């Protein structure tokens, strides 16, 4: 028997704003959904990885078990910026790969506030925001997008088309925060936040949770392989040194490094990938990652979005869920929610937005700072 790792249960809640509940109760909803999907009980779970960013010092994983069953299992609470959920998933995967456990749970959860993300300055001295440039996230990702414009002539309209596409996809995803069409004029005409990112080109701050039950091949055979999704690759990288990374947080080189390793580990290439959920925290970011993930050659991302190759029905649909732009971006939950979307397609259960014949799917998240996690999943045998 091999030592492959399978996802036998996975779920996410509909993303939204839930200020009246607690982070552990949000986590509990997804955790119970994933356990039910796997047909197992919390009493069967041997260890828990809990990803959460904003309350990372509060033992959210243990709080979760207080909500759903205090079985005494080991709990790891992890935070890794926007790669938090994917990191929890990957560490759970490693524990099975290492032969320590047969059946474990990974959860990602976040309860967000409203408003701009980014460094507000403060501390000693004076605020630096708007004095020596901007550290707000829309500006940081705008500058990364404009670097692509500099190299390849990518236009405002091409970046905006990413939002048109992802919002369109979300109209078919009942778990997305928004289900609204946003035509190109609406996207480009929305309030400018940080050129070229308008308000409709920024991810939505939402609360959310997602969870996955992972198991060994032995356990998967016991539980039934019918809907078991195989994890073909799991990779985590950080940002290697780059000439401008003192002032431009680099989301490209860590993604390229992770993609290369993930394709090698999975034994597949970009042409084998049926769908991708990638980190579209801002519309500008999505185009960069087409090239970083090898979905096209360098400089071709603008053409890809123009020709609809990454839209549902295209050559390699990207962010069928609606992406962070429309489904929403609850930081710590995002990594596992991406895995949920891809697993749902591989199981043939994505309903109106189903990518037909999906065999391999890739998930990608970036935590600025930077962390990149990529997973490649394969459809049930």
Which residues lie near other proteins (CB under 8 A)? 116, 120, 124-134, 136, 138-139, 142-144, 146-147, 149-150, 156, 191-197, 241, 243-244, 246-248
The three-class DSSP label of residue 341 is: helix
Q: Which is nearer to other proteins, 98 or 126 (CB)?
A: 126
C-alpha–C-alpha distance, residues 125 and 118, integer Å: 18
C-alpha–C-alpha distance, residues 277 and 286, integer Å: 10
Quote the least distance from Cβ 37 to other proteins, whole Å: 40
Quote the least distance from Cβ 194 to other proteins, whole Å: 5
Quote the least distance from Cβ 142 to other proteins, whole Å: 3
Q: Which is nearer to other proteins, 32 or 135 (CB)?
A: 135
> By C-alpha distance, which of 153, 154, 134 is closest to 249?
134
- Cβ atoms of residues 274 and 358 within 8 Å: yes
- Cβ atoms of residues 35 and 11 within 8 Å: no
Task: Based on the residue annotation, tell me whether 289 is a catalytic residue of this protein.
Answer: no
Burial of 169 (0-12, 13-18, 19+ CB in 10 A): buried
Quote the least distance from Cβ 283 to other proteins, whole Å: 13
Task: Please count the residues of the chain.
Answer: 381
Q: Which is nearer to other proteins, 75 or 135 (CB)?
A: 135
Q: Which of 50, 78, 82, 202 is catalytic?
A: 82
Residue with tokens 């778990």: 175
What number of other Cβ atoms are within 10 A of residue 242's Cβ? 13
> By C-alpha distance, which of 263, 325, 330 is closest to 295?
263
Quote the least distance from Cβ 246 to other proteins, whole Å: 5
Half-sphere exposure of 304 (CA within 13 A, CB side): 23
Quote the least distance from Cβ 288 to other proteins, whole Å: 12
The CA dihedral of 291, 155, 177, 233, to the nearest 10 degrees, is 0
CA quadruple 278, 336, 324, 371: dihedral positive or negative?
A: negative
Q: 208 pairs with which residues across the strands?
A: 110
Q: Which is nearer to other proteins, 194 or 319 (CB)?
A: 194
C-alpha–C-alpha distance, residues 149 and 159, integer Å: 10
Q: Which is nearer to other proteins, 245 or 351 (CB)?
A: 245
Task: Based on the residue annotation, tell me whether 82 is a catalytic residue of this protein.
Answer: yes
Q: Which of 148, 169, 329, 364 is catalytic?
A: 329
- 37-58 residues labelled b (16+ CB within 10 A) or e (exposed): bbebebebbbbbbbbbbbbbee
Q: Which is nearer to other proteins, 122 or 269 (CB)?
A: 122
Catalytic residue numbers read 82, 329
């Amino acid at each position: 028997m091999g030592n492959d790792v399978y996802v036998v249960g996975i779920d996410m809640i509909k993303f939204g704003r839930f200020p009246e509940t607690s982070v552990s109760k949000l986590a509990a909803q997804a955790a119970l959904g994933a356990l039910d999907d796997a047909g197992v009980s919390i009493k069967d779970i041997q260890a828990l990885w809990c990803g959460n960013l904003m309350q990372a010092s509060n033992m959210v994983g243990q709080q979760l078990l207080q909500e759903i069953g205090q079985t005494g299992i080991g709990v790891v609470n992890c935070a890794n910026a926007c790669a938090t959920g994917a990191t929890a998933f990957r560490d759970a995967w490693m524990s099975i790969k290492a032969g320590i456990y047969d059946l474990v749970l990974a959860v990602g959860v976040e309860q967000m506030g409203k408003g701009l993300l980014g460094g507000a300055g403060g501390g000693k001295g004076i605020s630096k925001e708007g004095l020596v440039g901007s550290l707000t996230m829309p500006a940081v990702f705008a500058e990364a997008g404009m670097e692509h414009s500099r190299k390849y002539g990518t236009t405002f309209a091409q970046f905006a088309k990413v939002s048109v596409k992802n919002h369109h996809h979300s109209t078919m995803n009942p778990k997305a925060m928004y289900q609204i069409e946003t035509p190109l004029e609406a996207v480009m005409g929305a309030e400018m936040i940080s050129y070229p990112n308008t308000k409709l080109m920024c991810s939505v701050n939402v609360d959310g949770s997602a969870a996955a039950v992972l198991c060994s091949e032995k356990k998967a055979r016991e539980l039934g392989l019918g809907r078991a999704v195989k994890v073909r690759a799991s990779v985590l990288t950080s940002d290697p040194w780059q000439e401008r990374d003192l002032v431009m947080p680099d989301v490209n080189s860590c993604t390229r490094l992770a993609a290369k390793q993930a394709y090698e580990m999975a034994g597949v290439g970009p042409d084998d990938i049926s769908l991708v959920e990638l980190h579209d925290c801002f519309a500008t970011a999505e185009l960069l990652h087409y090239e970083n993930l090898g979905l096209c050659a360098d400089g071709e991302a603008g053409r890809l979005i123009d020709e609809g190759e990454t839209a549902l029905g295209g050559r390699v649909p990207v962010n069928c869920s609606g992406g962070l732009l429309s489904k929403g971006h609850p930081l710590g939950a995002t990594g596992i929610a991406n895995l949920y979307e891809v697993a749902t397609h591989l199981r043939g259960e994505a309903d109106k937005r189903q990518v037909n014949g999906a065999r391999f799917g890739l998930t990608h998240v970036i935590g600025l700072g930077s962390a990149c996690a990529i997973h490649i999943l394969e459809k049930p045998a």
